[in-house]
Amino acid sequence: MKKELSRIKKILTPYNGVIYFVVILLICHFAWKFLVRGDDSNRQVTFLGNDISAPFQFMANHVAQTTANVLNFLGFHIQLFANNVLKQENGFGIQIVWSCTGLKQAYIFFCIIAFYRGPLGKKLWFIPLGLAMVYVFNIFRISAITALVQQHPSWFTFLHEYFFKYLFYALIFALWVWWEEKFVTEKEKNENLSISE
């Protein structure tokens, strides 16, 4: 049994970082699912029963306004109505709700880097940089979905529930790979070089 465990450990060692990434991702995802409550028809968001709607509502308003501004700048004719409904010329509307804010993805990215190994000093600038990239991607995601469904309303579910959702997590993974390769693995290589000298 001991030999078997040793063999499994040896096989998994090259994948330790990815395993750690996945474990943090899953813990954060399920913690969010169980602790943060709200639905798309309700403007109230709660954490352990406490109302935390204000930052979500602020971000939903901000994302809706920014998306309308970006798309109108690009030549689309988007109107922003009450309850953060973005309406297009064809009458198709998309409502920006609390779960469209990108706050969950920002939280997951923050936890992955904060609880992963690596130099604290570098985390102090890498985390804000990553959060800015998550924010920009979210605006791009909402803008792209809104623009694409203007001609293809039936694409909404695929774009929203699958394509851009997984692309969002691919971005978070890419940021983690950048962190792992540039600041963790490189640091360990440098430390091993200085020890061998």
Residue 191 is which amino acid? E
pTM of the model: 0.86
Query: Domain limits of the chain?
Result: 2-196
pLDDT tens-place values along the chain, 197 residues long:
677 777 777 777 778 888 999 999 999 999 999 999 887 666 789 998 899 999 999 999 999 999 999 999 999 889 999 889 999 877 888 999 999 999 999 999 999 999 999 999 999 999 999 999 999 999 999 999 999 988 888 899 999 999 999 999 999 999 999 999 988 876 565 555 455 55
51-83 burial: b if 16+ Cβ within 10 Å, else e: ebeeebbebbeebbebbbebbeeeebebebeee
135-144 burial: b if 16+ Cβ within 10 Å, else e: bebbbebbbb
